[in-house]
Amino acid sequence: MVLKLGGSVITEKDRPETLDGPALDRAADALAGADRSRDLVVVHGGGSFGHHRADEHGVGVESGTGDAAAAFAVHGAMTTLNRFVLDRLHDRGVPALPVHPLSAAARGAGGELTLPLAQVATMLTESFVPVLHGDVVATAGEGVTVLSGDEIVVRVATDLGADRVGLCSTAPGVLDGDGEVVSRVSSLDDAALGGSDATDVTGGMAGKVRTLLSLDAPAQVFGIDGLGAFLAGESPGTLVD
Amino acid sequence: MVLKLGGSVITEKDRPETLDGPALDRAADALAGADRSRDLVVVHGGGSFGHHRADEHGVGVESGTGDAAAAFAVHGAMTTLNRFVLDRLHDRGVPALPVHPLSAAARGAGGELTLPLAQVATMLTESFVPVLHGDVVATAGEGVTVLSGDEIVVRVATDLGADRVGLCSTAPGVLDGDGEVVSRVSSLDDAALGGSDATDVTGGMAGKVRTLLSLDAPAQVFGIDGLGAFLAGESPGTLVD
């Protein structure tokens, strides 16, 4: 099972490098209550940690920087957030271990991602909970570029054969034109239902839905209220498959 | 070129988690003055950071721990030391990036190490200086075990085809029975010259010499006084080949 914790769920999106402590506590509580007999990989986004620093230094998914100090500023913001997540999980007895993508991954000149996962697979067999995150990654011809949490989710779910993928977002699911949660999305046409009065969320969500549709595993999109249910095997929010 | 900075060179060995700041400054100065046209990978040991925490939690190369908090305590001590090293290098304009082995490596049940190096190779092509370190690593059947900086040096030098390996240690080279630096060691018999009045250094050094002899690349063992010369292509201390 692969769980993505949206960066804007666990941070305050509008304030640089500000944790949403109560939300992270709730997420950590839910993870502490999950059935430990199932393998779980957690991936979190950057929220106001990663995005702020990346914007500041002009680093994106396609355009990079060769400035090591800039790369390290973005990476350091992400590892700080990762440390907050790990601390909350350890406080609750969740055997979480960090996996920093900068230390493991590389991108070729054509954009192709190398992300070997023997470390994650071994952590799982040893009953740990690997916690990955959006990061910067060394990229041929670009210095470092941004590697998004969503891209990591897809790679981990695909390469490790996840049964189920969960996306915990700020919205309670994929919304229709009336702002109601759609129970199931099976094509991009369904996902285009979202109204234009919520373009940010909808725009971001449409991209996420496209990505989730490309997975073999069924995916569930839900808000933090649905996290416990998802971890218990239920189907909160929207099923994307 | 692969350079190992001994943990006991850059930390105060007898005091838990205490940096030897002046020694690290000297090492960073030497690295800042090095010819940047040659690829350089730096690996540092744990010194009083890693070893202290590892002993405290009973984690070794062969016997591990399944306790994530213990694993994270050892890893955290090492990443703290790594952060000190990176900060000193960035202060001097060395484009260093961290590579944490826990995030990249795994050990199988037979002890075999998986350590993919596309991230290091890509950092090198992008003119960064990857900085690795001794760490804990997920290990089948053991939770996590210790992965030594020396084992990392061998793997990186072998897999990336290093021309030259440098080992910056507390001793000015491999010593003979009179405490004098031997200029060249070509077999373990030569290395056994060290007197019994220095068993610690000799014991540790004998193991290192055995490892260095197994490399294809020539290796140089020297003290911090020799670091600048090594980086300039000279042959301080002892040549092991």
**What is d(CA B174, CA B15) in angstroms, rounded to the nearest whole number?**
25
Q: How far apart are CA A223 and CA B149, in angstroms?
A: 43
CA dihedral sign of residues A123, A114, B77, B9: positive
Angle CA B137–B140–B143, to nearest 5: 55
Domains of chain B, each with CATH number or no CATH: 2-240 (3.40.1160.10)
pLDDT tops 90 at residue A234:
yes
Name the closest residue on chain A to residue B66, using Cα atoms.
A126
pTM: 0.94
Task: Tell whether A232 lies on the interface with B, counting CB pairs under 8 A.
Answer: no
Q: Give Cα separations from A105 to A98, A115, A118, B79, B143 (angstroms).
A: 14, 5, 12, 18, 23
Q: Which residues of B touch A69 (CB under 8 A)?
A: 90, 95
Please, which pLDDT band fits residue B194 given cuts at 50, 70 and 90?
low
Separation between Cα atoms, residue B79 and residue B83, nearest integer Å:
6
In SS3 terms, A56-125 reads as HCCCCCCCCECCHHHHHHHHHHHHHHHHHHHHHHHHCCCCEEECCHHHCCEECCCCCEECCCHHHHHHHH
Q: What is the pLDDT of residue A204?
A: 73
Chain B residue at shortest CA distance from A103: B99
Lowest mean pLDDT of A48-62, A143-157, B110-124, B132-146, name the range: A48-62
Give dist(CA A153, CA A4) in Å, integer.
7
**Is A140 close to B121, i.e. CB distance below 8 A?**
no
Nearest by CB: B119 against A104, A123, A142: A104
- B135: chain A residues, CB-CB within 8 Å: none
pLDDT digits over A122-135, tens only? 999 999 999 999 99
CA distances from B214 to A100, B64, B186, B189, B217 (A): 31, 26, 10, 14, 9
Angle at A173 between CA A167 and CA A179, to 5 degrees: 155
Q: Is B196 on the interface with A (CB under 8 A)?
A: no
Window A:20-79, CB contacts with B under 8 Å: 66-69, 71-72, 75
Q: Which of residues 111-140 of A touch B (CB under 8 A)?
A: 114, 116, 118-119, 121-123, 125-129, 137-140
Q: Which of A184-188, A199-203, A228-232, B1-5 comes out lowest in average pLDDT?
A: A199-203
